[in-house]
Amino acid sequence: MKSVDCDYFVVGSGMAGLTAALHLAPFGNVTLVSKGRLQDCNTNFAQGGICCVMDPSDSFDRHARDTMIAGAWLGKSSVVHEICENAPAGIADLIDCGVKFTLNEKGDWDLTREGGHSARRIFHAGDITGEQCEKAMVRRVRRAGIDIREQTMVVDLIMTKRLGLAGENRCVGAYVLDKATNEIYAIRSLNTILATGGCGKVYLYTCNPDSATGDGVAIAWRAGARIENMEFIQFHPTCLYHPQAKRFLISEAVRGEGAVLVDRHGRQFMKKYDPRGSLAPRDIVARSIDSEMKRTGDDCVFLDIRHKGKAYLTKRFPNIYEKCLSFGIDMAKDLIPVVPAAHYACGGIQATTDGRTSIKGLSAIGECASTGLHGANRLASNSLMEALVCARLTAARLGPHPETGKLPRIPAWKTGSAVPPDEAVLVSHMWDEIRRLMWDYVGIVRTNKRLARAAHRLKTLRREIRDYYFRYLVTPDTLELRNLAVCAELIVKSAQKRHESRGLHYTLDWPRQAKTARQTIIEGFKG
């Protein structure tokens, strides 16, 4: 079996993965794998921007307080302050990479505001901030002497315990699948960094790309890592509702610049649910829209920003304007139909701000990690900030002081009696069943009965998937299905452990918020 050795092994090519790779490159050999192209990640789809206090009238304390309030006080205060205070250094990195953030008429930063924020503190590059950042960082990474392996998917982490080695159990790399050749080989490293993004595809309706199948969380849990707060799945309130509009978000910045939510008669309804109206945090807005749709029986609600006029809209939101227009919706004249869709996982692999997990040799950063920043609900545009800051802090820890030692011999991947899959319909059927089950039973509003039904069916599905996995040769579709099922079960188990409604977890059986805020912990797999 082929084996590749490196000082630092980075899994994922969004903002967190690319930032970590760039900062680690001066200290040693970096291998970076992406299961698709480098740009096939959630970062590339981020529209709104990146939080960073820069206005003298604003402060880190105000940003931290807004974050804690949005997270229903489940966030970890010290973590929130640390990440907010390190954001300017991350913005400086992006500017150094060539990202051109939008300026106002005076030549100052055109800071914008989104739901839950008490001030304008969001850097943006038009309305395609993520795409602009991803392009600039990919250019820099390709020139940095990093071993880049696209179309390469991690199968499982390699743990010393499973190799039969004595001493503390630790990660020493991973088995990976080359999707072009179907070859499975090992990448050996004492410093593995997971930056694999979220798990939006676990739900039937999501604005995430197809790559968001929760791979990092699933492989870390199978390796024994502790998982935290997986019940908190954020549903973006305003995904464009149109039969041809797959996964297209109407950025929260549109509401930040004056759009209001209305029903099909043009009547505003958000003030009924929250005094902040359409600028309430995402959990409140998504739940309010869900309630309104159930009350009226309508398929969607609408955003109204017609009062801003075409000149303003085409300048501030050129990409969103053109996309809507391609579907026959003129933002300057028409109401924009929107619905909530699964968007962001606030929980994940329990990790510190500098990436440490419960497993030696394994770090986690970005959306797949749970650092304590988001608590029970993510404040808008805090995600890219967290990815930047935690990637930099992780590289600062590992770069000068990497885990060292002798790499063990890795046994060749065994296929046993597995044969090529002959019925792909089984995989697609199980994939569809999981996503619909999660949408129906583990969505914006939950109940004990729905969660119990989901748990029962997922247990059966995971057994069927396990049988399929060992019977047939490994394929990318099989790996994604396997990971998706693990994430679905972790979400349900976490939801069942939380006997209250807090932030993104709202249940009719426990409608009140508990007096004490506690994290939900799921221990890693011990097999």
Residues that are catalytic: 282
* 492: CB partners within 8 A, 6+ apart: 442, 451, 454, 455, 458
Residue 228 phi/psi, 5° resolution? -130, 135
Count of Cβ atoms closer than 10 Å to residue 457 Cβ: 16
On the 0-12 / 13-18 / 19+ scale of CB atoms within 10 A, 331 is buried
Q: How far apart are CA 3 and CA 7, in angstroms?
A: 14
Biggest CA-to-CA distance, the chain? 69
* 401: CB partners within 8 A, 6+ apart: none
* 172: CB partners within 8 A, 6+ apart: 158, 159, 160, 163, 188, 189, 190, 361, 407, 408, 410
Q: How far apart are CA 28 and CA 319, in angstroms?
A: 39
Asked if 337 contacts 241 with a C-beta cutoff of 8 angstroms, the reply is yes
**Cα R_g (the chain), whole angstroms:** 22
CA 77 centroid distance within chain: 21
Q: How far apart are CA 453 and CA 448, in angstroms?
A: 9
Identify the three-state secondary structure at position 266: coil
Which tokens go with 2?
A: 């082929």
* 141: CB partners within 8 A, 6+ apart: 18, 21, 22, 32, 38, 148
C-alpha distances (whole Å) from 484 to each of 193, 274, 481 are 20, 34, 5
Which tokens go with 376?
A: 């029970």
Which tokens go with 12?
A: 């994922």
Asked if 195 contacts 20 with a C-beta cutoff of 8 angstroms, the reply is yes
Q: How far apart are CA 339 and CA 145, in angstroms?
A: 43
> b/e for 353-369, b at 16 or more Cβ within 10 A?
bbbbbbbbbbbbbbbbb
> b/e for 480-503, b at 16 or more Cβ within 10 A?
bbbbbbbbbbbbbbbbbebebbbb
Q: How far apart are CA 213 and CA 232, in angstroms?
A: 16
